[in-house]
Amino acid sequence: MILTCVEVVGYINRENTPIYWRAWEYVSNYSGKDSSVAPFKPLSVYKKTMTGDLLNAIGFSPLPEEIKQQEFIVDEYGYRNRPGFLDEPIDALVIGSSFVAGGAETQGNLISEILTRDYGIRTYNYSTSVQYAYEDWRFDKSPPKYIFFVGTDGEVISSQWKYNIVERDVPINTPHKWNSYDEWKDANEEFPKTFEKAAAQFHQYSLVKYFGVESMYYLLNKLYSRDELARQTNQSAVSYESHNRTLYWQQDYDTPLLGSVRKSKEDIDLAIKVLLDSKAKLEKKNIRFIVVPMLSKTLSDLPKYAKTKPEDSAIVALNEAMDGADIEYIDIYSVMKKHKESTGDLLYYPADSHWSSETNYIISREIAKYVEEYE
């Protein structure tokens, strides 16, 4: 009874606002009626702190230096761009997963923002798929010159749905322009106004659950070091390397080696076939399709794979296959290897599964070089 009263009073006093640990959970359009066409809640804004997504997975309390400020802005269509950006023609789309959308990144450090601000290449952040971009009505009259597909080697090789294009008589992707967040919310209410909605809200908000988990993490982190906590945690999902104080997601699964899970020669051959098909279809719309494959965190930052020979790595095999198939790509692998050798910097955030803002700036620089050479 006491806990129930705490939940109800807390729910009312906080104005029904759930507790979030980063923007992604706040802005993502998980269950709206238009979630298939709007990845984020239109015209929502998050300007608070965030911590790495791997800390909770292993039970680490964030250190002061692991708490960052994050700004996450969503446009009137539900994409991570500044409102009104499409009022003027664009030069490029950058397409990918949460690496492109910036799950761990503040607004100004996104690839799309860097290209627009620092290089004058007006770039729209399109964190869904090439299929959706292909049939998006917003680009019918004024298509972008370029589509850059940015992702890890594993995403490029095995996530063909991100860049596969299927000709459809009736397009599925029909983004709607909203005038306000409240207008969108009223039209896309996730739950009916019944007990079901109240239960869902309490589950998302739950003061008792939040402070209970936080208190448990706090106590465990006071009693044990991170090395000790890591040894007590199931290592199949998240592992901790104490020498560089870095967390890795599915280290044994997401290996960078050619022939590993989802990175076989056959997987690469299939990816090439799909990439060629998408390239041909985009060329009919006068759009250049460029692949930008990034090193996985295991290859870039895990000492275990530091001495991997080029001929043994999947990303090199992918690049060679794209060379042979005349698929345009940017060789981020070579650039990042040189940067890593000269600076020793980690290319990914130690407490997160996403690459760092510094990496975004390097990728943006190489994309800008490509555009300059082409034009």
Q: What pTM was computed for the model?
A: 0.91
3-state secondary structure of 231: helix
- Percentage of the chain modeled with pLDDT above 90: 70
Residues 334-371 pLDDT 10s? 999 999 999 999 999 999 999 999 999 999 999 999 99
State the average pLDDT over residues 260-264.
Answer: 91
Range with the largest mean pLDDT of 10-24, 45-59, 101-115, 228-242: 101-115
Structurally, the chain folds into a number of domains equal to 1
- Residue 368, Cβ density class (10 Å: 0-12 exposed, 13-18 middle, ≥19 buried): middle
**Parallel, antiparallel, or unpaired for β 146-152 and 68-73?**
unpaired
pLDDT of 81 higher than 90: yes
Those residues with Cβ within 8 angstroms of residue 333's Cβ, 6 or more apart along the chain or in another chain: 293, 295, 313, 315, 316, 319
pLDDT of 231 higher than 80: yes
State the average pLDDT over residues 176-192.
Answer: 84
Q: What is the mean pLDDT of the chain?
A: 89
H-assigned helices in the chain: 2-13, 23-27, 53-58, 98-101, 111-119, 130-134, 153-158, 181-187, 195-205, 207-223, 226-232, 265-283, 297-301, 314-325, 332-343, 357-374
Query: By residue range, what is the domain housing residue 137?
Result: 2-374
**Parallel, antiparallel, or unpaired for β 45-50 and 68-73?**
antiparallel
Q: What's the CATH number where 320 sits? A: 3.40.50.1110
**pLDDT at res. 214:** 77
pLDDT of 238 higher than 70: yes
pLDDT of 68 higher than 50: yes
Rounded CA separation 334/77 (Å): 36
State the average pLDDT over residues 298-323.
Answer: 95
State the average pLDDT over residues 236-255.
Answer: 83
**pLDDT at res. 3:** 52
